[in-house]
Amino acid sequence: PTDPPAPSPGDPGATVLLPPAGLKVLVEQREITLVPGGDPVSIEVHIFNLSRVVDAYSVSIDRGPQWLQVGAPEVRLLPGTAEKVPLTMNIPRGPLVFAQSVRLPIWVRSRANAAVGFQTWLDITVPIIESPVDVRLEPSLIRPRPGIDGVCQALVDNRAGNGPLKVVFSGSDPERGITFTFTPPVLDVPPGTQAGCRIRLRAPAPEPGQSL
């Protein structure tokens, strides 16, 4: 096979950490998106055995998060041969995984010589998954009277969401008689949590001899 080009010393995504004699690795795709509970995503790791011995190579991701599931077969190469190894990753259904971006090391290691290895980097993005916003009022029925405000709480539940929520509150009354005060008027709810907003309602007294 044609001798592949060596990684550029200035390329931060492809750094040979150990003696490269006999081993070269190419990874073209360095950014992937993984959806929790979605289909697995694979990238190809191109391994070149430039040594004079038959060697086996393992592909792994070191220090990966617990929510990441990784699978890659070990490849055995004759001298002067090359092969593409699929590195498959997915996030299985289970505990909530927050939206985030992480950079993880991909390692290719020689089985015949522990001193020979190659490291590169992979950027993984976990996107925000759109989910319904659950809001409930406690209590859901109040009876404000003139001079006595009604108070309730709006509880925003984001425990099933993997991304942050920004909730803006407003209120309206068809007769335009009740005024609303929200504390706070804008609520930031981190993923996997819930938060509340205090709502104060004030009803004005009717004019003498009139009902409202």
Distance CA 119, CA 11 (A): 12
Q: What is the pTM of this model?
A: 0.74
pLDDT in tens, 23-75: 899 998 999 999 999 999 999 999 999 888 899 999 999 888 999 999 999 99
| Residue 202 Cα to chain centre, angstroms | 43
* Lookup: tokens for 122: 């992979």
- Cα Rg, the chain, nearest whole Å: 29
Helix (H) and strand (E) counts for the chain?
Answer: 0, 16
Residue 15's SS3 state is strand
| Residue type for position 153 | Q
